[in-house]
Amino acid sequence: MTPETADRPQMDIEDFDELVRRAPREIRNRLEFLGGRLCIRHGPLDVDEFEELAAAAPETVRLEYINGKVEVKPVPDGNHREIFVWLQEQCMQHRPDLRVYGESGVRTEAYRKGRARTDGAVAPKGHFKGHGEWSASNGILMAVEITSHDRDTNQRDRVDKPVVGYAAVDIPVYLLIDRDNNTVVVYSEPKDGRYQRTTSHPWGTRVDLPEPLGFTLDTEELKDYAD
């Protein structure tokens, strides 16, 4: 990651202004924009306040609630979108009974107090029928994140989500496609809020996904999307 991408702001001022305009009145005056980051005055929001804010946010602003903090998830770029399509194709080839659902809101963390937007959620076809914006984790077989080149990706995708988020609600597998290191990292065997097994694989190798997936990813194509 270059210094320029590492310092990339969470959002731009135009998106912040639009978020403030749309935010519920009781939350609006608590929002600040400092150093390219969305900040909350007078203490953190609770999860109900966060859901109100997220529901009001413009389409260009994707909000998460991770470890008690409101986070802004970057809008995907072209390579990010191509990697997602690659994963969809791989999944359909090996497991036509499953789908990779993009932009899935999931209740995470202990007592379901977190709200994460996965880049992908692998689940049986039809799983999310009738769900609202934030779904329970039950039935999701794998959560997927594709890193973005922003200053918060390390804490968000490599620390908070595997440790605080997805393992805590027993999602069996967390797949991290790491564009900074050109690796695919597989987290599995959740227990006591942590994944007990982690394996890292360079792009171009074959990656075995454990049960309940039980198939192998051919990652050769990912080399085409190295930044």
pLDDT of 227 higher than 90: no
Position 9 scores a pLDDT of 55
State the Cα–Cα distance between residues 70 and 8, nearest whole angstrom. Answer: 17
**Spans of all domains in the chain:** 3-73, 78-225
Note the pLDDT tens digit of each residue in 41-83: 998 999 999 999 999 999 889 999 998 899 998 888 999 999 9
Does domain 78-225 match CATH 3.30.530.20?
no
Above 90 in pLDDT, residue 121? yes
Q: Is the pLDDT of residue 5 over 50?
A: no
The pLDDT of residue 162 is 82
Would you say residue 144 has pLDDT above 50? yes
Evaluate if residue 22 carries a pLDDT over 50: yes
- Please state the rounded mean pLDDT for residues 165-169: 92
Looking at every residue in the chain, the average pLDDT score rounds to: 91
pTM across the whole model? 0.87
Residue with the bigger pLDDT between 2 and 97: it is: 97
Q: How confident is the model at residue 152 (pLDDT cuts 50, 70, 90)?
A: confident
Tell me how far apart the alpha carbons of residues 136 and 120 are, in angstroms, rounded to a whole number.
Answer: 15
